[in-house]
């Protein structure tokens, strides 16, 4: 039996319309995609006057602007000061959108090398920290030697960050490449950038990696990684038993643990709406510069 | 929903969007000790969440209630956002709600109660009376809480907000004092002709507007 | 049945002057009372925050406004102008109470990264000045000769006057400053005295100068000898019985007793510790923040620290300090003041020119 709800209650829907939403007989607008959000959810929410509509990919492109979720280190003034400095730095260097698994080329000023610059091409294996401390690790195999180089993105020595191949992989962290066969970490140093159509979704590279025999640096079998091939063939009985013993299958359902690892949508929107205008302006300026640079490169030297 | 949670590397995860909880969230979870350890803790919370969704008003100890509150809020806000057609949402709901009929109740009864624009909280928690000191049992010493889902069919525990003490003598006197104060201020302003006359009247209205918001 | 009981008792507590029984204190850790308390033993709700007076929202705000009206003269404070004085080496000026915000990386112009901590200078107002002779503390500190030194009382942090006792608020009556959360004493040279009501901001310090920062270390609680003193403990295997994390021998046969100060388990942290000689790299005068080198300042982020001019002999300022405090025109200075060697984020990328 349903209680007749008072009219003035500000959060209750009128009882007449109780069964219209979320009925399973609704047209199958939903797909079987993972983490599918109801389209225009943001539109349905009351949009305050003067607030901007933040595009969905902002949180991936500008993930460094989001603070660390640990409550102990949260401070609004510190974050505000950092964001201001980050925008200043971004006006000098274009920091493009990238993911773990993309192939990047980073050029830095190096006082000890010839020509005073040094560049490195590699797969981005992990990303650490936020704000001005954001750091990425690029991995490549050069002359049969695996090399990992870590760069602070906001380091003023960095001249250029180019994305040679924008793609995602099956995992968020790819440190297992250190224990994988070297062919999976090898990237051509003279690779040409592969451009994607503007507005196209970021492709997911579903290559599955083969591992070297044990010993490994970490117990990869316990981390539920999708990018590694059948791990059981490399393990002994003890490792397999321990994996089952140490497994925590309930953790993926732990909603509050997940919440404490994230910044909720409202806070994200607040932060991004602060930087929205400035960051778009900066991006446009970089686009113009890039276009101008391309024009000068393609100009032919010998004209017949 | 994504898989095994990764050890924190100092940045916020952005793969999944979630609404802000309007309920106090402590920086660390409570242990809720049990023989199975962390799994046992989750099992206990599952029971509480199921009970809350089933009965819509439950009385329990403070620690468990506070922990479970966050989970219920997350469950309801996610169910609203993703709906029952989303495979992972369904998996999550069937994990937390131990009875199958309650999964249907979540999507078809509880979620539609709330407007799209309502942020939360979807639950209320009241301090319940403790039997200490009349009962000599040790357990009765701990804080007790009544957890409720909003929109429940029961009569309210506390008197309506609109009534809350408006006609109590101290409120009546304070109202009168406030009116006298502002009238005096207005008179002074008119006499001095320095301050704007409308200021004092607006202040009263401003206070009212602030409360409505 | 269940419902009527709860409603009765819950409704009962909402009536004024009803006696409610409640715990006197509630520890954060598990607290299982061992005593069986007698039936007639109940405690009355006395704390203001536990009492529910059933005031309407409008009246609550009216009361807040009225209580703040008493402190209105703080905003009308006319602070007498301070005259700048000549600073000589050895003349101690007052310090500052600041809040530790957190870690912030800065880079120098040759590309080296500097780890810095941001300290936010919360509102500091002078409440009282005790000239030399008047200030005579029982606990003597390192600058022990108080006959020739004055003491400046500085209040910092906002506090709600409704929650403070009349005794505490009486301390602020003379100065007319709004009651603050904390009062700190800084022992200074008499020439460094500031008039009551003066506020001190980040420009009290200069970029390139060195400071000492005092803070209370994070409380680790009761810790064993390995974590507390860095002992190595005993072997994990090879037949060791119950000696994996112990301290080993306590003393030898010489004195046939344990020396005082023997390192043993105990409370770790929660101690006042000073970090000396920290360089100031950057000052933001709008937000009142200073960037100070290092990241080991005692305390968790958000805790209060005290900043003093450094005591180290090799880090003394070469130019005279702002004495008694910064008295110049603030608006002439840029919003962000950087040390000479610091790379500003808006500057061009650092490049090295090839040698010719």
Residue C103 to residue A133, Cβ atoms within 8 A = yes
Q: Is residue B6 assigned to a domain?
A: no
Whether B170 and B205 map to the same domain: the answer is yes
Contact A68 B12 (CB under 8 A): yes
ipTM here = 0.81
C231: closest CA of chain B, how far (Å): 29
Residues of A in contact with B111 (CB under 8 A): 21-22
Tell me the domain boundaries of chain A: 58-281
Output the six-digit token pair for C288: 């009142």
Residues B133 and B29 in one domain: yes
Report, as an integer, the average pLDDT of B173-186: 94
Q: Do A224 and B15 touch (CB under 8 A)?
A: no
Share of chain C above pLDDT 70, in %: 81
- Checking if the pLDDT of A31 tops 70, the result is no
- Which helix (H) or strand (E) segment holds residue C183: the answer is strand C180-188
B27 shares its domain with B93: yes
B53 and B141 belong to one structural domain: yes
Cβ contact B112–A133 (<8 Å): no
Regarding predicted confidence, which is higher, B133 or B84?
Answer: B84
Residue B12 lies in a domain: no
pLDDT: is C311 or C178 the higher one? C311
Taking all residues of chain B, what is their mean pLDDT, rounded to a whole number? Answer: 86
B196 — pLDDT class (breaks 50, 70, 90)? low
Q: Which of A78, A113, A154 to mutate to test the interface with C (most CBs of C within 10 A)?
A: A78
Q: What is the pLDDT of residue B206?
A: 65
Q: Would you call A116 and C354 a contact, using CB atoms and an 8 Å cutoff?
A: yes
What pLDDT does B134 receive? 54
Same domain for B91 and B43: yes
Q: How confident is the model at residue A34 (pLDDT cuts 50, 70, 90)?
A: very low
Across the interface, whether the CB atoms of C343 and A156 are under 8 A apart is answered: yes
Total domain count for chain B?
Answer: 2
Q: Are residues B122 and B180 in the same domain?
A: no
Tens digit of pLDDT for each residue in B53-110?
A: 999 999 999 999 999 999 999 999 999 999 999 999 999 999 999 999 999 999 999 9
3-state secondary structure of C279: strand
Across chain C, mean pLDDT equals: 84
Tell whether C102 is within 8 A of chain A (Cβ). Answer: yes
Rounded CA-CA distance C146/A39 in Å is 72
Judged against a pLDDT cut of 60, whether residue A171 lies above it is answered with: yes
CB contacts, 8 Å: C43 with chain B: none
Strand C150-158, strand C180-188: pairing: antiparallel
Higher pLDDT, C168 or B194: C168
Q: What is the mean pLDDT of residues C336-354?
A: 94
Q: Could you read off the pLDDT of C276-327 as tens digits, one per residue? A: 999 999 999 999 999 999 999 999 999 999 999 999 999 999 999 998 999 9
In a domain, B124, yes or no: yes
For residue range C82-110, list pLDDT tens digits in order: 889 999 988 999 999 999 999 999 999 99
Question: Could you give the CA distance from residue A71 to residue B26 in angstroms, rounded to a whole number?
Answer: 9
Q: What is the mean pLDDT of residues A41-51?
A: 50
Domain carrying residue B195: 163-213
CATH fold label, A58-281: SH3 type barrels. (2.30.30)
- Distance between CA A24 and CA A31 in Å, rounded? 14
Same domain flag for B27 and B86: yes
Q: Are residues B144 and B167 in the same domain?
A: no
Interface test with A, best of C334, C352, C355 (most A CBs within 10 A): C352
The lowest-confidence range among A85-89, A222-226, B57-61, B194-198 is: B194-198
- Does the structure show a pLDDT above 80 at C144? no
Q: Are residues B43 and B133 in the same domain?
A: yes
Asked whether residue B154 is domain-assigned, the answer is no
Both B178 and B89 in a single domain? no
Contact B74 A259 (CB under 8 A): yes
Distance separating alpha carbons of residues A58 and A63, to the nearest angstrom: 8
Least confident of A212-221, C45-54, C122-131: C45-54
Which of A71-75, A103-107, B135-139, C214-218 has the lowest average pLDDT?
A: B135-139
Q: Are residues B169 and B95 in the same domain?
A: no
Residue B155 lies in a domain: no
Give the phi and the psi of residue A10 in degrees, each rounded to 5: -80, -10
Nearest-by-Cβ selection for C57 from B155, B170, B211: B211
Which of A4-8, B185-189, C214-218, C270-274 shows the lowest mean pLDDT across its residues? A4-8
**CB within 8 Å: C105 and A132:** yes
- Mean pLDDT, residues C140-152 taken together: 76
Q: How far apart are CA B52 and CA C5, in angstroms?
A: 20
Backbone angle region of A72, left / alpha / beta, with phi > 0 → left and psi within -120 to 50 → alpha: alpha
Provide the shortest C-alpha distance from residue C12 to chain A (in Å): 26
Model confidence at A115, in pLDDT bands (50, 70, 90)?
confident
User: Does one domain contain both B98 and B183?
Assistant: no
Tell me what pLDDT residue C256 has.
84
Q: Does residue C66 have a pLDDT over 60?
A: yes
């Amino acid at each position: 039996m349903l209680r007749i709800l008072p009219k003035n209650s500000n959060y209750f829907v009128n009882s007449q319309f109780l069964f219209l939403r979320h009925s399973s007989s609704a047209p199958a607008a939903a797909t079987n995609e993972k983490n599918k959000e109801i389209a225009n959810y943001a539109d349905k929410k009351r949009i305050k006057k003067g607030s901007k509509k933040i595009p969905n990919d902002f949180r991936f492109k500008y993930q460094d602007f989001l603070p660390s979720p640990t409550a102990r280190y949260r401070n609004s003034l510190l974050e505000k000061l950092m964001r201001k400095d980050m925008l200043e730095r971004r006006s000098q260097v274009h920091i493009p959108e990238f993911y773990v698994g993309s192939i990047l080329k980073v050029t830095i000023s190096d006082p000890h090398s010839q020509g005073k610059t040094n560049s490195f091409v590699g797969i981005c294996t992990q990303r650490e920290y936020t704000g001005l401390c954001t750091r990425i690790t690029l991995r490549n195999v050069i002359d049969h030697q695996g090399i990992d180089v870590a760069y602070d993105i906001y380091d003023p020595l960095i001249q250029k960050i180019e994305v040679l191949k924008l793609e995602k992989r099956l995992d968020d962290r790819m440190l297992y490449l250190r224990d994988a066969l070297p062919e999976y970490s090898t990237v051509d140093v003279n690779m040409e950038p592969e451009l994607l159509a503007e507005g196209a979704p970021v492709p997911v590279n579903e290559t599955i990696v083969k591992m070297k025999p044990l010993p490994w640096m970490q117990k990869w079998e316990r981390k539920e990684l999708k990018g590694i091939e059948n791990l059981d063939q490399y393990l002994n009985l003890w490792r397999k038993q321990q994996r089952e013993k140490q497994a925590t299958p309930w953790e993926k359902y732990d909603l509050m643990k997940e919440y404490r690892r994230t910044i909720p949508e409202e806070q994200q929107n607040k932060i991004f709406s602060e930087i929205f205008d400035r960051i778009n302006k900066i991006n446009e300026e970089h686009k113009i510069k890039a276009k101008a640079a391309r024009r000068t490169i393609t100009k032919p030297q010998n004209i017949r | 929903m994504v898989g095994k949670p990764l050890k924190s590397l100092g940045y916020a995860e952005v793969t999944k969007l979630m609404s802000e909880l309007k309920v106090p969230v402590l920086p660390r979870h409570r242990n809720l000790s049990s023989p199975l350890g962390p799994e046992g803790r989750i099992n206990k919370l599952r029971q509480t969440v199921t009970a809350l969704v089933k009965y819509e008003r439950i009385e329990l100890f403070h620690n468990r209630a506070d922990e479970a509150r966050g989970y219920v809020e997350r469950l309801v806000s996610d169910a609203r956002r993703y709906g029952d057609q989303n495979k992972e949402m369904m998996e999550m709901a069937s994990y937390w709600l131990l009875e199958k009929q309650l999964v249907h109740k979540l999507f078809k009864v509880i979620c539609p109660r709330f407007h799209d624009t309502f942020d939360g909280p979807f639950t209320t928690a009241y301090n319940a009376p403790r039997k200490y000191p009349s009962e000599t049992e040790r357990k009765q010493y701990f804080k007790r809480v009544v957890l409720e889902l909003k929109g429940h069919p029961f009569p309210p525990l506390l008197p309506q907000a609109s009534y809350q003490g408006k006609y109590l003598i101290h409120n009546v006197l304070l109202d009168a004092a406030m009116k006298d104060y502002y009238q005096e201020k207005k008179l002074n302003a008119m006499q001095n002709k320095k301050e704007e006359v409308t200021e004092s009247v607006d202040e009263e209205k401003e206070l009212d507007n602030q409360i409505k918001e | 049945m269940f419902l009527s009981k709860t409603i009765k008792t819950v409704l009962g507590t909402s009536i004024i002057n009803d006696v409610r029984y409640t715990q006197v204190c509630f520890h954060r850790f598990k607290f299982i009372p061992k005593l069986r308390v007698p039936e007639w033993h109940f405690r009355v709700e006395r704390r203001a925050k536990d009492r529910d007076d059933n005031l309407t929202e409008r009246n609550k705000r009216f009361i807040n406004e009225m209580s703040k009206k008493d402190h209105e003269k703080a905003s009308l404070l006319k602070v007498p102008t301070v005259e700048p004085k000549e600073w000589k080496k050895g003349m101690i000026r007052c310090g500052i109470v600041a809040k530790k915000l957190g870690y912030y990386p800065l880079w120098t112009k040759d590309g080296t990264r500097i780890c810095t901590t941001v300290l936010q200078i919360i509102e500091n107002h002078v409440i009282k000045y005790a000239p030399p002779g008047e200030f005579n503390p029982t606990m003597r500190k390192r600058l022990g000769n108080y006959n020739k030194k004055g003491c400046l009382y500085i209040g910092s942090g906002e506090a709600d006057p409704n929650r403070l006792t009349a005794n505490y608020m009486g301390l602020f009556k003379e100065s007319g400053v709004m009651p603050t959360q904390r009062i700190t004493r800084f022992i200074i040279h008499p020439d460094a005295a500031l008039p009551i009501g003066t506020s001190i901001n980040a420009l009290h310090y200069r970029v390139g100068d060195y400071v000492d920062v005092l803070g209370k270390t994070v409380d680790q609680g009761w810790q064993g000898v390995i974590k507390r003193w860095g002992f190595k403990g005993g072997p994990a295997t090879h037949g060791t019985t119950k000696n994996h994390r112990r301290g080993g021998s306590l003393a030898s046969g010489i004195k046939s007793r344990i020396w005082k100060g023997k390192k043993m388990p105990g409370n770790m942290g929660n101690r006042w510790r000073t970090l000396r000689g920290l360089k100031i790299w950057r000052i933001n005068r709008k937000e009142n923040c200073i960037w100070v080198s290092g990241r080991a300042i005692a305390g968790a982020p958000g805790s209060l620290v005290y900043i003093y001019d450094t005591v180290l002999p090799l880090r003394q300022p070469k130019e005279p300090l702002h004495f008694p405090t910064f008295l110049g025109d603030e608006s002439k200075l840029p919003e962000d003041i950087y040390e000479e060697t610091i790379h500003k984020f808006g500057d061009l990328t650092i490049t090295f020119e090839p040698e010719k």
